[in-house]
Amino acid sequence: MRIPPRSILADFLKLGRTSNEVGCGGRAASRARHGIRGVYSGHGLEAAVLNIRSVGCNQLHSMTTWAPFAIGHGYHSDVRAGENTGKERIAVIGSGNWGSVAAKLVATNALSHENIHDEVRMWVFEETLANGEKLTQVINKNKINVKYLPNVNLGVNVVADPNLENTVKDATMLVFCTPHQFVESICKQLQGKVNPNAKAISLIKGMEVKPDGPVMLSKLITKHLGIDCSVLMGANIANEVAMEQFSEATVGYKADTSIAKSWVQAFATPYFHVAAIKDVEGVELCGTLKNVVAIAAGFVDGLGMGNNTKAAIMRIGLKEMIGFSKLLFPTVSDATFFESCGVADLITTCFGGRNRKVAEAYARNGGKRSFDELEAELLGGQKLQGVLTAGEVFQVLKARNWEKKFPLFATVHKIAIGHLPPSTIVDYDNESAQKLHRNPSVGVIG
């Protein structure tokens, strides 16, 4: 029998300890630690990883805990692709920073829940890297998205696919995580090509503004694909979740609690806590509007105005988020804004994240460099959502004569397009703002 290298043995023993920490019984952890000889000699390292199932562990602590077993050995599914097993099959549509983290989360859980098929397919918009290699090939070889999430193992069971239709084939759970301006074209491409019994979830921040008013992306997905669509938003900057720092998220669902439970099961890990609430519009608008406030916070940082000013802008921004949401959808719950998707995400985004970062640079340069230019320079191919969203929100304000009711939102847009200097972030219509904030009844503004 060939004995594995000492480093691999150490990693396997670590896996056994981790299994005990996350709720596997003592017997399971013992078998994971002491059963290495039989597992290794009989089935190979991949089986050693998958064997955690057989010893009773319901949820692995982390994909990176056992990443050494994945690299260089390949992935062998326990079920042939396309076979009807009655298991859920997850496909992730999008492979940027957050999409890659989403794939890592669901791939971890796919290996630890018997009702989910092991393989997770991730649609990748194909790119040629500087060394001439295709991005999908590199991801499938190393299990790392070297462009958008470097140095993070996505999981042995993640398969990158440049073909959108092939990615969703046979999938019963679709995870949407693309820049919001591409959602409608993607959905049109997938019409009639997804499982009619599938369900979707959107991790995308933004909205579409149509001639008859704003349309939330979850509704757009349902309209084009004819399937239920929940949303997941929260205080979770992608790189921190990738490093398995503790964070939370909120699933907003329509009515079916079984669907909500399915999404919680797919995403929740010991370091990523997920709660579900029956308020799709409220959760989705929180994730959308907080990016506009983060742009304002970035202006404050770029102008060196300090924490008092930033706190004031955040508070005003939260009030406008609540008022705007409840005017559009009276069913939105006040309680939603106290979930992870609400005030927690607002705080996180206003102190970190790409929207605040680029807006700070914009203000520091006195508005003389465009957001497009700064996006290309600072984000490494990622897309900025807050400026687009500010423009979409402003279209709604303009069409409904709400500009004075939401002066901060209106001002952010006007600064972003160069009609006002960044310093006016604190010089917007204070009379209207005071009128808004004196009104104790959120949602009844004026």
At residue 387, the pLDDT reads: 92
Q: What is the pLDDT of residues 304-359, one digit of tens each?
A: 999 999 999 999 999 999 999 999 999 999 999 999 999 999 999 999 888 999 99
Q: What is the pLDDT of residues 175-223, one digit of tens each?
A: 999 988 899 999 999 999 999 999 999 999 988 888 778 899 999 999 9
Residue 206 zone, left/alpha/beta (φ > 0; ψ -120 to 50; rest): left
How many whole angstroms separate alpha carbon 384 and alpha carbon 371?
9
Tokens representing 399? 């069409």
Query: In sequence order, what are the residues at sequence separation of 6 or more whose Cβ sits closer than 8 angstroms to the Cβ of residue 249?
Result: 232, 233, 234, 235, 236, 267, 272, 273, 274, 275, 340, 341
At residue 42, the pLDDT reads: 33
Q: Three-class SS of residue 134?
A: strand
Q: Sign of the CA dihedral 349, 341, 110, 218?
A: negative
How many whole angstroms separate alpha carbon 441 and alpha carbon 214?
23
199-202 and 173-176 strand pairing: parallel
At residue 84, the pLDDT reads: 53
Is 435 in the active site?
A: no
Q: What is the pLDDT of residues 235-275, one digit of tens each?
A: 999 999 999 999 999 999 999 999 999 999 999 999 999 99
Q: What is the pLDDT of residues 225-242, one digit of tens each?
A: 999 999 999 999 999 999
First-to-final CA distance of the chain? 79
Is 119 within 8 Å of 110 (Cβ atoms)?
Answer: yes
Using the predicted structure, report yes or no on whether residue 1 has a pLDDT greater than 80.
no
Using the predicted structure, report yes or no on whether residue 171 has a pLDDT greater than 80.
yes
Amino acid at 302: G
How many whole angstroms separate alpha carbon 112 and alpha carbon 116?
8
Among 41-50, 62-71, 321-330, 369-378, which is the least confidently predicted range?
Answer: 62-71
Query: In sequence order, what are the residues at sequence separation of 6 or more whose Cβ sits closer than 8 angstroms to the Cβ of residue 377?
Result: none
CB atoms within 10 A of CB 250: 27
Q: Where do the CATH 1.10.1040.10 domains begin and end in the chain?
A: 283-442
At residue 85, the pLDDT reads: 63
* Percent of the chain whose pLDDT exceeds 90: 68
**Could you please report the per-residue DSSP string of 393-438?**
HHHHHHHHT-TTTSHHHHHHHHHHTTSS-GGGGGSS-HHHHHHHHH
CB atoms within 10 A of CB 443: 16
The confidence band for 291, taking pLDDT boundaries of 50, 70 and 90, is very high
Query: In sequence order, what are the residues at sequence separation of 6 or more whose Cβ sits closer than 8 angstroms to the Cβ of residue 255?
Result: 278
User: What mean pLDDT, rounded, does the chain reach?
Assistant: 81
CB atoms within 10 A of CB 47: 15
Using the predicted structure, report yes or no on whether residue 27 has a pLDDT greater than 50.
no
90-278: what fold?
Rossmann fold (3.40.50)
Upper half-sphere CA count for residue 44 (Cβ side, 13 Å):
7
Question: What are the residue ranges of helices labelled H in 268-344?
Answer: 280-302, 307-328
At residue 428, the pLDDT reads: 60
Question: What are the residue ranges of helices labelled H in 44-96?
Answer: 45-50, 67-70
Is 109 within 8 Å of 61 (Cβ atoms)?
Answer: no
Q: Where do the CATH 3.40.50.720 domains begin and end in the chain?
A: 90-278
pTM of the model: 0.77
Using the predicted structure, report yes or no on whether residue 398 has a pLDDT greater than 80.
yes
CATH number of this structure's domain 283-442, picked from the four choices 1.10.8.620, 2.20.25.90, 1.10.1040.10, 2.40.180.10: 1.10.1040.10
User: Active site residue: 104, 143, 199, 290, which one?
Assistant: 290
The confidence band for 4, taking pLDDT boundaries of 50, 70 and 90, is very low
